[in-house]
Structure 1
Amino acid sequence: MVPMIWLYGKHACYAALQNKNRQIHKVVVTQKNERDAVSKLVQTNTRIDMMGKKDLDNLVGRDAVHQGIAVQVTPLGYEDISYLKNLTEENQIVVVLDQVTDPHNVGAILRSCAAFGVKALIEQERHSPKETAALAKTASGALEIIPRIHVGNLSQNMKDLQSMGFWTVGFSEEAKEYLHKADLKGKIAIVMGSEGDGLRRLTEEKCDFHLKLPTANFSTLNVSTATSVALYQTFIIQNT
């Protein structure tokens, strides 16, 4: 049986409540007007409890910025790589993460994915964060929008992407070509490595080509920030 988890924060909770694929078990709020708003979104048999702020602090953690609402849910499932075969648009973007394990980074990447129309986030099953309240809070609702695809062998599944017509684009500080000079029309898989090690050798070798972000003298960016920049530029190229 999959264990239930608590989500907190208005964006994460309201997005979960509006997701028809999300199983909701209970909602806790601290204000009556919040309860009235929630009652319009949930099924009639969903339990909605009023609770004092301190009690909610104790429920989700004193350091959690819950904004007066928490929702108990069943974690979302993961899609298979074959999910992408059903997509028909000429221009598509997916993001591939090579052992990015920090939930705040993955949450922020999901948020950028939602902003720039990404079709899916692909992660290695054994080296990716589980769904948690912290990840959902950082994603600010995007967890309910962007499908997460878990794969076993990342390099093999990059071959699968290529067979579906995706160009796999690895990002590295050592790349010779800059992002803004690349032709990123069509089906693009943006491949990002972990903060410490970057892309692993096998992952890097499976990429069709490599790009780097133009920066000033300070070249190191957080992986979620770098992904956001890459997505912005790719989105601009594909929509102009």
Structure 2
Amino acid sequence: MTHPPAAELLFEVPPPPTPVERLLALADRYTQHNDLLDLVLADNAEPDPATHVTSAQQLTSETLYAIKAVDDQQLYESADLSDAMVRLRQLAYLSTASEAERPQLARELTALAPEAVLDSATRVAGEMRRRRWSNAAVPDASFSDAQHTALHEIARGHVVVTGSADRRYVHHRTARLLISTLRSLEAKDLIARKAKSAAPAYIGGPPQDRVHLTPAGVTALATVLALPPAATAGPSRGPAPRTRTAARGR
């Protein structure tokens, strides 16, 4: 029996991503795809009709691959799981259909994809947790409610940042986030900003910085997906004080 060289033993092979992690990565891919189209449409009223085709083809393949990863788990076909899989298949159809459309319509077909994928990932995570609780990853107990909310909003493709290095503002769709919350997650290497990768905040304005989950952030969110924020909070000696948040933070 032969053994690998000692040098090879120094490097651990990371485990393959879980189905939930694949779905969270897929949600981010849809966000990047939509951002690409937004920037193209902002720069050119009549963009190249094929500008998005390669990206759309990749999304279709990645969506089908994520569906297979969930199918391979052989989970019980609950209503939640069935709904999640139907929605993912619909996204695969929409991505395929968008290949033949002009960028303006193609953008509409994938507009809600990140949210749909996150919703599906949450349903899948809940089903996996219910059926395989003993084998589930231990949730990260260090997230505050604000951080928990921020990770979800980022996964939905809802968070961008604008401004200079010393004065930045958070823009979001629904939940209110503070720049300090994002900085705390950046310090943990759970999120990162991609400069000038999202649509301008106004016509003629500069591109904004999209906030994405890092691979570590994907793994962290996957462990708490389908759990309420209170279940992820660390130990407390008493009730948490009520705080106010603003749409913009410094």
Asked if TM exceeds 0.5, the reply is no
Normalised by the size of structure 2, how large is the TM-score?
Answer: 0.28
Determine which structure has the larger strand proportion and give its number. 1
Which structure carries more helix by proportion?
2
Which TM-score applies when normalising by structure 1? 0.29
